[in-house]
Chains A and B, each alone.
Chain A
Amino acid sequence: MSLLNRRGLLAAAAMVPALALGTSAFAQSEVTITHYFTGELGLKALNEQIARFEADTGHTIKNSPIGHEDFKTDILVRAAGDSLPDVFSYWAGARTQFVVDSGSLHPIDDMWNREGLDDVVAKSVADSATMYNGQRFLVPFNYHYAGMFYNKKVLADAGVAELPSSWDEFLAVCETLKNHGVAPIALGSMHRWPAQFWFDYLLLRTAGPDYRAGLMDGSARYDDAEVHAAMAMWKELVDKGYFAPNSNADTWTDASDKVARGDAAMTLMGTWITGYWNGIGLTPGEDYDFFPFPAIAEGVPGAVVGPVDGFVISNDGGNPEGAEAFLSYMVSSTDVQASWTDQFGALSANVNVDPANYNDVMQRAFATVAAAEVFAFNYDLATPPPVAEVGLSMFSRFMDDPSMVDEILAQVADDAAQAFQE
């Protein structure tokens, strides 16, 4: 009798995988999605947009959010195991190019044309973010702009009446703030990436976008005079004590908190900082504002830096129709776009979203991007991942000991050249 029971148990155990297979066969209208919009980076806001999609289309979403940093690893593990979800969020630029080159993504040209997304997505964003190897793979969900965000009260208390638009003016503002007893600049480079905006802007404002593109694709070297010049300007800022100490010990939110509290005056960060600050009770335009990174060399095209967050469809997903419906809906729905960009602190790639939906600060960020001659992806999205690893470590090594800049650049030039070959 007991043997029979055990056999029954084994039979039941054998049934479990069979039932699981059966369940997945019924779930064709379910779209599986993995994304990195978690915690302070917008999980609640995204869940609201997913609920809108489910209510309007009848599809259901199986949602697996993963923390921003862990996502980079998780998606690779899933790709290696042929278990990518139908849809995943990804950063436009070199990272998407890497996945496209690996043959893991489903092209969306047909869906793009069928849904008329040419009339929805801003052409500048579509040209730079969606096309890879002559085909479309990514639908932009939002984009960001990196600017100098500052605490209005701190600047006012220090007597800074006019915002700097040139490098000399910027240095003067830093000196005024320092003399007033406040750290002029906060940087949270514990996870390395926040430091990249300094390198990006200093290089773009001195050597220009064309040279920078060459450095990103390996045709220029990190020991070139252009890179040395940009790093020398960064070093000057550190040497003069304009950065709050121990930037490598702080995260980007630690640095943002320092500015919010008034311990530091400014931080060079993406527009997602507005979502973070609004979430902790700061009022845009009253408590904080931003100004564009100052111009440095004359005759250099004005460039802005930022990432584009998008959604892509994996090749081995089981529901491409549902996945395409999700991508199209998320960028086309002006309700979704207005709500998402407002809560997340991002800019919409949908041209039909009325800029009046943005708060005062974001409206000016939108206008700054619209007026820029070049929209450049930030460093770790502009150069291949193995090279980006070398560069990101360079930035934190530099922040630890700027006096080593020449040795650091010589080393990085060799390491990056090798990484480009891998």
Chain B
Amino acid sequence: MEGDKRFWRAVLLALPLAVFAVFVIWPLASSFYYSFTNWNGFNPDYDYVGLDNFQKIYTDKLFYQAAINTALWMIAAILLPTALGLGLALLIDSSVPGSAAFKSIFYLPICLSAVVVGQIWVWIYQPDWGLLNTVLEAMSGERLRYAWLAKPDTALWSVIVAWSWQQTGLSMVIFLAGLTTIPEDLLEVCEIEGATTAQRIRMVVIPLLTPATVVVIALSVINSLKGFDILYIMTGGGPFNSSDTLAMHMYNESFKKYLMGYGSAISVVLFLIALTIIRVYFRQLRKVDELYG
């Protein structure tokens, strides 16, 4: 009977492992393999080109542009939803009238798919009749036709705003959960001791929210590394590659230029960058765990 149990445990563990191997490990290994070839995606014949694809990365201007955009995306993705989510959580936690309704409304965008969010914001940014230009026109009284997504200096930031709009709800809910763990009597003591609201937030609430902040930042980093779909819908990396991230650049090289070998090399570099960030992050996470248990 014990042997039978062990058999079924092995079977039940083997199934997800098989799925993981087929859908994660195998494609990952394939990418490493193809990054050393000049495969075009269609042709079954290709040559081994050694490190040529990786050398090409050094001279690829679009790669550097994409790397800078990825870094900007990641920094903004950490700062904006975290700061906005914390602000909203503190407001809702202060029992403003209708806070339950606000909580639902702010959380709603995270329930939508990135494609839907992207399309909503494409309409908001539309230069001729979009909501943003209409509101700005009403405020300034001047005809404004700024094409937010079609101008290289605003395209990436416009997508980041849309992305933050979606992610903020998630951060807010995590912070709200964190706020429930802060003892009420501690806050009352602060009040009795004469601490202002700002002092209470800065010196008591935010430090005690560290575990929640760690989770929010972790999710922000992971989600920003995955942030491809909304960019694809809103700009496709354009105009003329100005909002390319590394993931988008990899996609364009592989599927639009048919340079699957070079695209694989970019994906390997992206994988190594992600691996480094996640390793550094987990090291910090362990320190936080030790501090807060």
Contact = CB atoms under 8 A, between A and B. Distances in A.
Nearest to B255: A73
B109 interface: no
Interface in A74-120: 76-77, 79-80, 98-99, 101-104
Contact of A389 (B145, B252, B260): B252
Interface residues of B, number: 30
A80 B41 contact: yes
B150 A79 contact: no
B61 to A, nearest CB: 9
Given A72-B255, A397-B240, A422-B259, A246 B147 contact: yes
Given A386-B259, A393-B241, A246 B150 contact: yes
A396 B260 contact: no
Interface in B17-47: 40-45
Given A80-B260, A386-B258, A419-B257, A101 B239 contact: no
A104 B42 contact: yes
Main secondary structure of the interface of A (DSSP, over half): helix
Instruction: Specify which of A99, A396, A419 lies most central, judged by the most chain B CB atoms within 10 Å of its CB.
Output: A396
B238 interface: yes
Given A73-B255, A76-B258, A397-B240, A249 B150 contact: yes
Contacts of B152: 400
A385 B239 contact: no
B211 interface: no
Interface in A341-387: 385-386
A102 B43 CA distance: 4
B40 A102 contact: yes
B127 A3 contact: no
Given A248-B147, A400-B240, A76 B257 contact: no
Contacts of A394: 240
Given A389-B252, A397-B239, A400-B151, 14 more contacts: A72-B255, A79-B41, A98-B258, A102-B42, A103-B44, A191-B236, A248-B147, A385-B258, A386-B258, A386-B259, A393-B241, A396-B240, A400-B150, A400-B152
Interface of B: 4, 8, 40-45, 126-128, 145, 147, 149-152, 236, 238-241, 252, 255-260, 262
For the complex of A and B, list the 8 residue pairs with the smallest distance between their C-beta atoms, beginning with the closest: A102-B42, A249-B147, A102-B43, A249-B150, A248-B150, A246-B147, A397-B240, A386-B257
Interface of A: 3, 6, 72-73, 76-77, 79-80, 98-99, 101-104, 190-192, 245-246, 248-249, 385-386, 389, 393-394, 396-397, 400, 419, 422
